[in-house]
Each structure stands twice: as structure tokens, then as C-alpha cells.
Structure 1
């Protein structure tokens, strides 16, 4: 089964062969069900990526780059490619739930794995709560555009925005929790249909915009802020691509993980990039940049003011609502699988990782997280801490790029169904990925860094007080 390079202590490494063997043994004892294929996993990636970003963030990008926001989408995609390739290699080589947490355990040791796992718990939890809050806002926008009424502020907004409780956020989290508990097959089917629907909505926007409103005059001046504007917009737009890494959390439920995970990770990123570029071209060509920049719903504005289709706003609002639901489902799914992997390793209470024999899902864990996230979305101000999602994601990407290099050195002969090109003997692609990530991280506000530091300090204290003493790996070495 392999052995750890470090035998004990916080930097003990759980060998990749041991990780795989433990997973296979767990599956025989009633673990997660292998029930999804490459298409389901690709839809999982698309579901996690295409959300409010393309419906809203394009306006902010246009404000920074003008029509050259098209190039910003390309640049942001290129930035993601290096990390996506590294995720694909590690996911195919170590097809185990846990994503960056598991990869860090196999390369950098238990303490680093714990830190990234603790980081991902915050990142995914805050992201799910924030997306649920956004879902409530988009529900009101859809109701207003379509039927001319909206829910009262007292039940539609959290306390920080003049309400009492964000009831729509609680309802959608409860629905998603129920679906996740039902089973991965049901989750994959629901997500697949939502992905198809939102892609059709975006296809509708692209076709209508090009057919009725596109004008080359709207593309001039193309780059009013020059290269700096394009780069600044790319830094904002980068976060519209976050989510493809959620595919790797489904490793233990994939029927052929070594083949399907790389296809899904890279495939979902390619599809999302093509869609984003086409949407951005259609938007900036349909309405002048200033009008798009000033609109809170730029795609709806492009159809309404540019194409003269007033009912297009309702169509786009519905598409945004479905897109957000899909993101909520997939990100929440990813969080439960990371938490599951950490609990199975003993770093969290192991009893919460028990898989329900009927549904094949960690039901107790999923319900517990659902209650916590619903409360967070209903009552807690998220406007500030949501920035932690950005730094958490970048930190995970950083360790995954480094992990590829370390495994190439320590296990040069391990089976790698997918290999990052230009990664050996000089790890060019992973090093480029590291450089781009560090550049984006140093652009984040200081407040984000100190909040992140406080959260990690709490996590390190928890590890030494609980995780290290209950770690399965550490207990084996002590016995």
C-alpha cells in the first residue's frame, strides 16, 4: 500500500498508493457510490463555473477595459489553464475525494493538507452562503421583471440590508441539501438539466444579439485604457472561471476516474471559455460600453436597449436564476466531499463521515453543513468575508501547482493517465501557474489577508488540539 516519506509528526505524508488503497477498501465497506461518468462530471464543472459572473461581472470588466474586455476573458482563461492542467494530472493519478486537500496530503504533509482543507471549508462554505444570498436577489429581480411584484424586504434581505431574515436563501439551501442527501446520481441529473438550460439561455442571448443589434461601431475605441485596463479587468474576470476544480471532488463517485476526471476538468474550462468569449463579443457589439458598464444587468440591457427586446430581460433573469442554482448545488457538493475526506482521515470527527447505505451519500454531514450554511445566509453579513473566497481559491491553486512538481520528483514512475505538458525536467507550466497565482494574490486587499490569517491560525490551533491526536495516520504510527 505504500508508506509515508515522513513517518510521524505534522508533516507526515500519506503516500498516493495508500490513499488509493484506503479509498478502495472504504468502497467495499459501504463508501461513496461510483455512479457518474465524464458527461456528468463535465456538467459539474460547467455548473460550478457559469453563474452570476457572466451575467454581472462583465459590466465591471467593461468599466476597466472597454470593449477589450473580450481579451480580458481570454487572458483570465489562460491564467486558469495552468492550474486546470495540474488538477487534471493529480486527479487522474490520485482519484480520491478531497481535491487540493488530498493532493497536499500526498505531497506536502498532513499539516499543510489540514491547512488547505480548513481553507477550503471556509472558501466553499462562504461561497455557498453568498451564492444563496445572490439567488434570493435574483429571484426578486425575476419576479419584478416578469410579474411586476417582489417579495417584502423583511423576508427577502438579511439584517445588514434592512431585512429580518433572507428566507429565499434558506429555502434554496434546504432544497439543495435535500437533493444532495438523495444521492449523487440524482444530483448529477438535476445539475445536467440546469446546465443545459443556462447554456440555451446564453445561446439565445448570443444569437439574438448578433442577429439584431451587433454593430462594429460599438467596438470603438476598442481598448481605451490600454494593456493595463485589459489586465485589470482580467484580474476581476478571473473569478468568473472559478469552479472547475470542483470536478476533482467527485473522484470517488466517478465510474472511470483516471480517464473521466481530466476530460471533465479541461473540457468544462474550454466550454466555459468559448461561451464567455462569445457572450462578451455579443454584449459589447450590441450596446455601447458606457451603457453596459452602468447597468446592474448588462446582458439584459444589451437585449433591452441594444436589440429592443424588452422581454429579453426576463429571459436573462431566469437564466441567471437557474445558473446560480446550479453553482450552489455543485459548490455545496464539493464542500461535503472535502469535509468527508478530512473526517475519514480522522482530522475531523470520523462519525460524521458515515455514508448512508441507502443513498450512498454522507447524509449526516450534508444535513449539518446545510443547517449551518442556511443560518449563515439568513443572518450573517457576507459583504466583507466573501472576499475570502478569492484568496482561498488561489491558495488551493498554488498548492496544486506545487504538488505536481513534488510528485514528479518523489514518484517519477507513478501511473499518470494525464500528464501536464512541459512539466519535466523543468516544470515550466506549473511554475507559470505559480507565478500568475502569486501575482493575483498580491493584488488582493490587506483586509482579506489578515482575515485569512486569523482563520488559518484558528485552524492550526484546532489541528494541534484535536486533529493530530485523532489522525488515523498518526495513530497508526503511535501504535
Structure 2
């Protein structure tokens, strides 16, 4: 006898509690992006590659971000579901592509939590030298998991407070550079330079565009608002607004301090050669005490990001249980809602538990696995919004992007360039691409051999409605 919990006729799990306003969703989304961590951790990599041309790299990345925000906003206004990207792709491109994206997200979301948590020890080391990074990361993740089980409104307030501290730190960094510049803005805009083998030289267009591929990831996360679509009031309009506002605030919060550092650094060669660019800048301009305070603020920002991403990932895991992606008992457990807090408590504990264990895995390996999966997800969403307009699956969307199809087409072109750049990098990029393809293949096999044969995977929404979108792969 087949397991009734995996039958397409099985009613959906109890709904998540709608207790968030758009502002609360925005605060959690911005916390997941964590602009301060991007400025202090990701931006130095862009500066190391493009020199002062990193300004233009971040501008180019912002343009790509606008394209992707339009895509996310339109799709999220049609399907504001806790499953996020996989639930959207499954309803627009078909169940097989949707499950492949789910496979990527299940792997990468858990790894990303660990990667970010490992950054806490780096910045706490300023105050406590020799602090063991993996242990600090694991404790941080475990504590954030406990908090994530509580009411979503409480977590919105917690992330909002931590986010305010993070933004204050960025304002201080911006003021240090903008109020005491070492060079003019015109020089930064028209004569970007880099350092090659100790020699200052003009930064080429190729270096700037290549570094933009990294800068794109610094802005990533604005689309995460969709994961709270079932807990946000007036979600079909509110989630689209949260996505667009999240991108706008992120671009300002990252581009302004990066510009300030490039304008205010007394010596660009010294800045480029430093292993801790932002720490050097702050210590040079304001002294060791301010640098210590800023480092602690960045540590808090990373803790905040861990909490926010656990909240996001837990909702995706909850959705997989509601859609019966796993064996019956596992799916029922993951789809459980806590009767008092209204949160997916088992999915949250499972998410945090796995992420805590992953904190003891080598960070380099985690980065290789997660490196190109975001590109695949972005590309699938671009195809999804194009398909949704064509087959009518997004006709009910409350938000429609301007200048369609400019945004998804240009975003696909930019993503193709990023993939090419990765393919040309035999050390990390090519390996990451192969791992991404491998995860996609395993997910497709699981769908074909397990779910499709048993008819178990049913895309459900908060009210238990099932997906009636035809399966393109099987319609031939």
C-alpha cells in the first residue's frame, strides 16, 4: 500500500502565520544580504582584482542586480511562496527543472550558512586572539537556530536591531573616506588604476568587467524576500516592493563605503597589497580602537546574517516537506508548524543542525561547492519569467517589470559571461561548475527514478492548492 502522506490528494500542512509587515520582511532580507560583511569580506577581492576600477565593477554589478530584481519581483508577485525559487521554477518551467533547482538550493543554502558563520571567528579574533573559528561558528549557528524557532515578528525585530548596528559601522567607514579624501572623484571615475607586480598601471576594462562577476555576489540576497511570502500581509504586492527596496538599499550601503575607501586611502598600492584592506583603512584613518569597534560590529553583522539565512532556509526546507519531496515520515516532520510560534520548527532545527555540523568542514571546500550554483538559479529564474509571460503561468502577477524582456535577456547574457569566466579558471571555477552540474544530475535522477514514478511531488501553496501547471518535459 502506498504511503498516503505522499499522495497528491493529501491536504497541505497547516499554514504559516501571517504576522509580518513589508518592513519586517525587508529587515530580514537586508540582514541576509549583510551589506557590511560584503564590504569587508567580498569587496576586498574585487579591489584586489580591479584596483580602484572596483568602483565601476560594483556599478556594473548594480545594473545586473536591477535586472535580476525586476525578474524576482515579477515572479514573486505571482508566486509569493515559502519554497522560493524552486517553487517558482516548478510552476513556470515544469516540475523537473523545479526539482533540479531544489537540489541546488538544498545543498548550497546549508553550506552558505556555514561559510558565513565561519567569518564570526575572524572578526572576534581582534578582541580574543586565537579564538577557534569552527567552534565559534558552530556555537553561533546553534544559537541562531534556537532564536529562529521563535515568532517571526520577534526575529524581524532582532535582525532589525543588529542591522542598525551594521549600518552605523558602514556610515563610519564612509565618513572616514568622504570627509578626508586623498584623491578626487574625477580621478576615480576616469583614471582607475591597479597594481601589477608592484607597479601602478591603468585598470583595463577586462579586469573591471571580470571583477564585476564577483561584485554581483556581494549584492545577492534581495530575492530572499520571497521566502516570507506566506508570512507577509498583502504578499503579492508587498514582496515585490521588499525585493526592489532591498536591492536599492544594498547598492547604496555597499557602493558608498567602497567608494569612500578608494577615495580616502592614503596609498592605493598599500591598500591593494594589504591582506586586510578594510582593517588597514580604518586603522590608518581612525586608529586601532575604532578598528576594534568596527570589527566587532562586523562580527555582529555576520551573526545577524546567520540568523536571517537560517530563517530563509528553514522555510524552503518546510516547503519541501509540504510538497512531499522526501519519504512520508520525513516530509510530515519537515512540514510541521509549531502551534504557539506558528513557525516551521522541525525544518528550522534540521536546517540549523546540518549547518552547525558543516562549520567543521574546510571553508575552501564549502566555497567551491557553492561557487556557481547561484548562477544556475539566476539563469533558471530568467528563463522562468520569459516562459511565464509566454505560457501564461505568471499572468496573475501583481507586478510587471518595465521594458520586458530587456531585463531577463541582458541578465542571461551577463550570467553567460560569468559562467565562461568560471570555465576558464581551472583551479576553482571549473571545479565549481562541474560540482554544480553533478548536483543537477543527481537531483534530476532522484526526480525521475523516485518522485515521478510514484507521482509523489505535488507543488502546494499555503491553502493546500495544488499546481495545475502542465509539465513541459512530459507534454511532448
2:197 match: none
- Aligned residue in 1 for 2:320: 342
Superposed structure 1 runs of 4+ greater than 6 Å apart: 474-477
User: Is it true that 1:389 corresponds to 2:370 in the alignment?
Assistant: yes
Query: With structure 1 as the length reference, what TM-score do the two structures score?
Result: 0.84
Give 1:68 deviation, angstroms. Answer: 2.1
Deviations 1:419-446 (A, max 9, x none): 11122xxx22211111111211222221
Structure 2 CA distance, aligned partners of 1:257 and 1:34?
9
What SS class does the counterpart of residue 74 from structure 1 fall into?
A: helix
Q: Alpha-carbon deviations, 1:191-227, whole Å to 9, x = none?
A: 1111111011101111233224544398495242221
- Counterpart of 2:273 in structure 1 is 294
Return the offset for 1:369. 1.9
**Aligned residues of 1:123 and 1:388 also touching (Cα < 8 A):** yes
3-state DSSP of counterpart to 2:439: helix
Residue 265 of structure 1, CA deviation: 0.6
Figure out how many residues of one structure are paired with residues of the other and give that number.
Answer: 432
Shift in alpha-carbon separation, 1:474–1:113, aligned structure 2, 3 A: closer
What's the offset of the Cα at 1:413?
8.0
Counterparts of 1:246 and 1:58, CA distance in 2: 21
Aligned twin of 2:443: 459
How far the C-alpha of 1:59 sits from its partner, in A, is 2.2
Cα distance, 1:264 vs. partner?
0.9
Match in the other structure for 2:425: none
Q: TM-score under structure 2 normalisation?
A: 0.85
Q: Which among 135, 152, 171 is matched to residue 203 of structure 1? A: 171
Q: 1:302 to 1:458 in 2, by over 3 A?
A: same
Q: Output the CA distance in 2 between the equivalents of 1:176 and 1:451.
A: 29
2:79 corresponds to: 94
**Matches of 2:208 and 2:116, distance apart in 1:** 27
* Deviation at residue 91 of structure 1 after TM alignment: 0.7
Shift of 1:470: 5.8
Q: Judge conservation of contact 1:128–1:332 (CA < 8 Å) in 2.
A: yes
Partners of 1:309 and 1:454 lie apart in 2 by 48
Task: Tell me the equivalent position of 2:26.
Answer: 42
Deviations 1:385-443, CA, capped at 9 Å, x for gaps = 313323111111111111111111111783222111122xxx22211111111211222
Structure 2 unmatched runs, 5+ = 1-7, 194-201, 423-428, 461-465, 469-476
TM-aligned CA distance change 1:467 to 1:186, over 3 Å:
farther
Q: For 1:212-291, list aligned pairs within 5 A.
A: 212-216=180-184, 219=188, 221-223=191-193, 224-287=202-265, 288-291=267-270
- Offset at 1:291? 1.9
* Residues 184 and 361 in structure 1, CA contact (< 8 A), matched pair in contact too: yes
Residue in structure 1 matching 2:311, options 333, 336, 350: 333
Once the two structures are superposed, what CA deviation does each residue of 1:135-182 show, in whole Å capped at 9, x if it has no partner?
2222223x14xxxx442xxxx14xxxxxxxx21111101111001111
User: What aligned pairs does 1:155-234 form with structure 2 within 5 A after superposition?
Assistant: 156-157=132-133, 166-216=134-184, 219=188, 221-223=191-193, 224-234=202-212
- Range with greater deviation from structure 2 (386-395 or 398-407): 386-395
Partner of 1:162: none
Q: Give the alignment partner of residue 337 of structure 2, picking from 355, 368, 387.
A: 355
Q: Is the Cα contact below 8 Å between 2:314 and 2:348 reproduced in 1?
A: yes
Deviation of the 1:452 alpha carbon: 1.7
SS of the equivalent of 2:372 reads helix
Q: Distance in 2 between matches of 1:139 and 1:234?
A: 29
Residues 1:78 and 2:60 aligned together: no
The residue that corresponds to 2:287 in the other structure is: 309
Q: CA deviation at 1:308?
A: 4.2
- Structure 1 residue corresponding to 2:400, chosen from 419, 422, 438: 419
